[in-house]
Structure 1
Amino acid sequence: MEQLLSILNNQQIEYEILKHSKKIHSAQEGADYFGIEIGQTAPTLILKTDKGYYSLILSGDYGRVDFEVLKELLKLDEIRLAKPQEAEQVTGCKIGDVSLINPGLPAIMDRGLHRFPYIYGGTGVPQTTLKIQPQAVEKLNHVVGFLR
């Protein structure tokens, strides 16, 4: 979390770290817990490809990820979800806690997140959530492509 806070503060980003007493396991659980639309939840998935790792930042209402679309978008031959231990090795976080901000990884972002003034996602630390503007997430990550 130190690195995340350092990035947010150095870039003078408006954000809020929300602490909660229980682990949030799904976009729907997060939406219910925070009293927001499911689309405002922003899970970050880690992808393993033939060209390395990527982060995929989705709106909670995106639906099923079509890997063929991602292959075409990124001009890749192979792409899959990273295994839990691979994701942890790349991000330093367990699956479910992966930070919305991973400047060292190329990112694909769901344009659907821009419908909302604020989105909610991981901080890298269990039982904390980052509330932030989608434009800031786009600015702080190395976005190489968009879905939607």
Structure 2
Amino acid sequence: MDKLISLLKSQHVDYEVIEHRKPIHTAQEGADYFGIHIGQTAPTLLLKTDKGYYALVISGDYGRVDPVHLKELFHFQEIKLARPQEVEKVTGSTVGSVALINPDIPTFIDRELYRFDYVYGGTGVPQTTLKIRPKDIEKLNHTVGYIR
């Protein structure tokens, strides 16, 4: 997480890292824990495609990710959610803790996150959450496209 904090500080980003004792496994659990709209939760998913790995930062109210829709939207031949072992290998984090900021991974962002001043997502470390502005997620990642 030191690398993440260093990047956030060097880019003068308005953020907060929140530590919590209770693990958060779902968007609904995050919304309940922080007392926020479920859409303000921002899970980061890792996609495995025929063109390599991509991160997908979605709003917690997105619903089920449809690989067929993403395949058509982004012109992939193959796309699926990465397996837990792949997530750990590529991001250095376990599923459910993947950081919102992964500058080395091409990233797609859900435009619905921009409804909110701040969103809440992973730091790469379990039981910590990053509160950050959606525009800073876009700025600090290698953003290559958008959904919705």
Deviations for 1:57-107, whole angstroms, at most 9, x for unmatched residues?
000000111212211222110000000000000000000100000000001
Verify the 8 A CA contact 1:15 1:132 in the aligned structure 2: yes
Look up the SS of the partner of 1:104 in the other structure.
coil
Tell me what 1:21 maps to.
Answer: 21
How many angstroms apart in 2 are the aligned matches of 1:96 and 1:67?
A: 19
Tell me the percent identity: 65
Tell me what 1:114 maps to.
Answer: 114
Tell me what 2:104 maps to.
Answer: 104
How many angstroms apart in 1 are the aligned matches of 2:19 and 2:52?
A: 32
How many angstroms apart in 1 are the aligned matches of 2:85 and 2:49?
A: 15
Tell me what 1:71 maps to.
Answer: 71
* Cα drift, residue 31 of structure 1: 0.2
How many angstroms apart in 2 are the aligned matches of 1:113 and 1:71?
A: 21
The yes-or-no answer on 1:32 pairing with 2:28 is: no
Verify the 8 A CA contact 1:73 1:145 in the aligned structure 2: no
Q: TM-score, normalised by structure 2?
A: 0.98
Tell me what 2:95 maps to.
Answer: 95
Unaligned residue ranges in structure 2 (runs of 5+): none
Look up the SS of the partner of 1:3 in the other structure.
helix
How many angstroms apart in 1 are the aligned matches of 2:104 and 2:134?
A: 18
Tell me what 1:131 maps to.
Answer: 131
Over 2 Å off, 4+ runs:
none
The yes-or-no answer on 1:82 pairing with 2:77 is: no
How many angstroms apart in 1 are the aligned matches of 2:121 and 2:75?
A: 27
Q: TM-score, normalised by structure 1?
A: 0.98
| Paired positions, count | 148
AA aligned opposite 2:83: K
Unaligned residue ranges in structure 1 (runs of 5+): none
